[in-house]
Structure 1
């Protein structure tokens, strides 16, 4: 199966607590990191693919060592397709590529993309980027993105898949923090967001 996430911000101590940007109600980054790992692995198996749309880890005053990030990512189930975010430096991607492993023949643990990836799901195209795109008038195309955390682009076709995205509140069943989204959940968000925006426009 295919899953989608963004903005895990492993090690980002400044996000801890009830802040206005991206509140994470954990006592430590170790607790936050483990919560994401646990939620991820409850859903994802090594047969699955997870598209991570950027901002893997961050520690503004002292960026975590690449070996620390690798240690966390190696604990996550599945094949990780990593799209570069604004807080993902090239040195990290080179380090992960150097220490890549195979989870099955022909399936490396990590794959890397600087800008975006396009796939098809249920007769729709998912154009996956870190930054949200203004695509104009589109048909059966969604932009899955991260980057803006607590904000939501007021277009149904733009779906924020970040771990702290407001779109998560549209799901009928609340997911544990850090759970990657399924294709079905993407379409649930899309349908409910479209209905909500249509209602707001009518009013």
Structure 2
């Protein structure tokens, strides 16, 4: 069923209200999550001389923004939740953009890498092609995008106050390749567990060089 502009506005507003209302609990609950495997997956595929210019897309309270900065990279955060933007600014001192994922305003060819960890699944499948094209456009030629999403059987809807879309690998590949990306690798998380105990699909993609 096609979502109307009103539906999309309600999805965005409702999801952001949930994060704003639960910002402190989210920060404490995710503070110690180990995503070093995901950070390394992005960085090892960037083929320019460091330091890199990185967009932490959906930066939340700033945990990973701080990690990239500590590694010496120039990192800009972006989030739609006002409280997360304030938290990230306070925690890192980095530049943080307050932008709704469904109403992005991104510069052309600005970033060497985009880190989209546990975030793109919030974009309704109807709008995902447009959002991915915008991310493609804000990468420099040869730039790299990392994404990690909870996987599923391509169902979408409301879950515990947030809207989510749960792609399988084949579906995610179609969206990414149709947006102009080339796959570099994918893996499932947490590492070292049986597949049925790995709810996260991580993947790394390149914008072809001109």
**Bin of the TM-score, shorter chain as denominator length:** 0.3 to 0.5
Instruction: State the TM-score, normalizing by the size of structure 2.
Output: 0.39
More helix, by proportion? 2
Which structure is higher in RCO with an 8 Å CA cutoff and minimum separation 6? Answer: 1
Higher strand share: 2
TM-score where L is the length of structure 1: 0.40
